[in-house]
Amino acid sequence: MFGLGKKDKLQKLKFKIFSKDMLQEYKVKLSKEQASSNLKGYRKGKAPLEVIEQYYGEQLRARVIYETMTNEFYKLITEKKISVVGQPAINPLSMDINKDINVEASYEVYPEFNLKKFSNLKIKKPVCDLCEEDIKTTITKMQKRFGKLEKIDKEITEGCFAKIDFEGFLENEKFEGGEAKDYLIEIGSKNMIPGFEDGLIGLKVGQKKDLNLKFPDDYHSENLKGKETLFKITVNEVLETLPAELNESFFEQAGIPSKSEEEFKDNLKIQLEKDLRITEKRKLKERIFDAVEAQNPIEIPSAMVLAEAQNLRNSAAQQMGMDPVKLKDEELPLNTFEENAIKRVRLGVILNKIIEERKIEKNDDLIKELIDERASGFKDPEQYKKWIFSSEEQLKNIESIALEEQVTELISSEANCESEKLNFEEIMAMS
């Protein structure tokens, strides 16, 4: 299924396992089987060896071959210092332990490569200055978000809301999930398929309209991808948002408790400055990682890609409230995560190489700074910190992020970084 790690990229290893070693182990296993045997007609542990061999010989010989060749394989790769990835395929060329057996093994190895110089990288560093207009615009958007909808006697326009009834038809037949009553839709939100919201513009309460549309080719429902459909629409209400008043109740709702409008603006400015710096930092990190990955196009073993794709699939299932264990093959197909898995694994391998070669070590001060930064976004920062330190998994995650920050700082100091001036709306759209 996965494109990497094909047969021509597999490593091969041939070796021999010896009859004398297998026969010796076979006798040991026969004796153990005899001691624990409880065959009908014999007292426990007293069945003759030839009877034990008759019952269990074939099974024990196969186990001896498997264990011997597996042990020999891992002994050889340890001696040769080969970093095997995933499960190797180890195949005996015969099953007769009375003779030496030739074995062929195929496997994938952890990528070996030389890092390119960071000085050859050209990276745009996003920068932005917060201005008063940005604060005003943000407040206006927040007032709209927490405002109340009220009915209006006007036609539907961009930015307003509408309550509609609709029925969807495929080849004159209604389809499941294509019908709703009093459905609230924001015009311009792009939450519906292309053409749906635009098709409502200009309509008034009570008016009806038929929309001939087409589902996108990448639509999430397999049975609707690329299909032409008819939607019959009836407009029940047209609404617009009455902006929320700037008062203590609104400030609380907005997550920035304040006693006055002036205090709210000051607190909001601090929060926006913080969000802005975080976004600048995160976007620079993304650009640096994208650049260093493109600079080092290493081959990634399919075993590593498959494992990461499964992790991504499980995470996606959990976010959707699905049980990963009960997922069917057609639900969240594994190959849809392949591209992202390759990128993540390749980047991980490159970052590990940088950390190893540059001897980057854990920075406790940076870890503490990251934990404090995250804790500041919680109502009870101390409780959050206790949770982090009580969870080995979460602490390891923070430590990994800290190492990534150190790698980012290293690369940005050596790469050719050029500032890219952006306005507040542009840079926050990167979030």
Is 137 inside a domain boundary? Answer: no
What pLDDT, in 10s, does the model give residues 300-345?
Answer: 999 999 999 999 999 888 888 888 888 887 888 888 899 999 999 9
Q: Quick one: 293 and 216 in the same domain?
A: no
Which of 242, 267, 296 is where one domain is finished? 242
- The domain in which residue 156 lies consists of 148-242
- Same domain for 208 and 283, yes or no, is no
* Domain containing residue 236: CATH number: 3.10.50.40
pLDDT at residue 431, rounded to an integer: 65
Structural domains counted in the chain: 3
| 337 and 213 assigned to the same domain | no
| 297/359 same-domain check | yes
Residue 317 lies in a domain: yes
**pTM as predicted:** 0.73
Question: Looking at the structure, do residues 122 and 71 belong to the same domain, yes or no?
Answer: no
Three-class SS string for 236-270?
EEEEEEECCCCCHHHHHHCCCCCCCHHHHHHHHHH
Residues 236 and 336 in one domain: no
Compute the distance between CA of residue 93 and CA of residue 65 in angstroms, rounded to an integer: 11
- What pLDDT was estimated at residue 320? 84
Q: Which of 284, 252, 270, 251 is nearest to 376 (CA)?
A: 270
User: Among residues of the chain, what percentage have pLDDT more than 70?
Assistant: 98
CA gap 280, 274 in Å, rounded: 10
**Longest Cα–Cα distance in the chain:** 98
Domain match, 155 and 215 both: yes
Is 133 part of any domain?
no
Q: For the segment 35-50, what is each residue's pLDDT rounded down to a tens digit?
A: 998 888 888 888 888 8
pLDDT tens digit sequence for 371-398: 998 898 788 899 999 999 998 999 999 9
8 Å CB contact between 271 and 238:
no
For residue 4, pLDDT beyond 70? no
Cα 31 from chain centre: 51
Residue, of 177 and 161, whose pLDDT is higher: 161
Query: How does the average pLDDT of the chain come out, rounded?
Result: 92
Band (pLDDT 50/70/90 cuts) for residue 115 is very high
The reply to whether 177 and 51 lie within a common domain is no
- 262 with 368, same domain? yes
Residue-level pLDDT at 177: 85
> Does residue 92 fall inside a structural domain?
yes
Per the domain annotation, does 136 fall within a domain?
no
Say yes or no: 236 and 266 in one domain. no
In a domain, 143, yes or no: no
Residue 221's pLDDT band (boundaries 50, 70, 90)? confident
Mean pLDDT of 161-176: 93
419 shares a domain with 335? yes
Q: Residue 218: is its pLDDT beyond 90?
A: no
Residue 221 dihedral angles phi and psi, to the nearest 5°: -90, 120
pLDDT of residue 1: 40
| 248, pLDDT greater than 90 | yes
Residues 163 and 236 sit within 8 Å (Cβ to Cβ): yes
Residue 343's CATH number: 1.10.3120.10
| Residue 358 maps to a domain | yes
User: Which CATH number goes with the domain that contains 65?
Assistant: 3.30.70.1050
pLDDT of residue 330: 80
Distance between CA atoms of residues 335 and 313, nearest Å: 10
pLDDT the model gives residue 396: 93
> Which DSSP letter does residue 47 get?
S
**What pLDDT, in 10s, does the model give residues 70-104?**
999 999 999 999 999 989 999 999 999 999 999 99
pLDDT of residue 223: 85
Phi then psi dihedrals of residue 210, to 5 deg: -100, 130
Domain edge (last residue) among 242, 261, 294:
242
45 within a domain of the structure (yes/no):
yes
Domain boundary among 211, 242, 273: 242
110 Cα distance to chain centroid: 21
Is residue 294 domain-shared with residue 396, that is, in the same domain? yes
